[in-house]
Amino acid sequence: MKLVGIDLSWRTEKNPSAVAVGRMANKALEVESIEPALQSVDSVISVIQSHTDVIGVAIDAPLIVENQTGQRSCEKALGHDYGGRKASCHTSNKLLYPDPLSVRLSLLLQNCGFQHLEGDRWQIECYPHPAIIECFGLAERLAYKKGKVCEKKSGQQRLAYLIKQLEYSEVLQLKISKCLKVSLSESDIRALRGKALKRNEDALDSIICLYIAGLHQQKVAGKLYGDSSHGYIWVPQVRCI
pLDDT in tens, 73-124: 999 999 999 999 999 999 999 999 999 999 999 999 999 999 999 999 999 9
**Are residues 117 and 234 in contact, defined by beta-carbon separation less than 8 angstroms?**
yes
How many residues comprise the chain?
241
Residues of the chain with pLDDT under 50: none
Residue 51 DSSP class = -
Tell me the whole-structure pTM to 2 decimals. Answer: 0.97
Question: What integer pLDDT is reported at residue 46 of this predicted model?
Answer: 95
CA quadruple 92, 94, 97, 101: dihedral, nearest 10 = 90
Q: What is the pLDDT of residue 161?
A: 97
Domain boundaries, the chain: 2-236
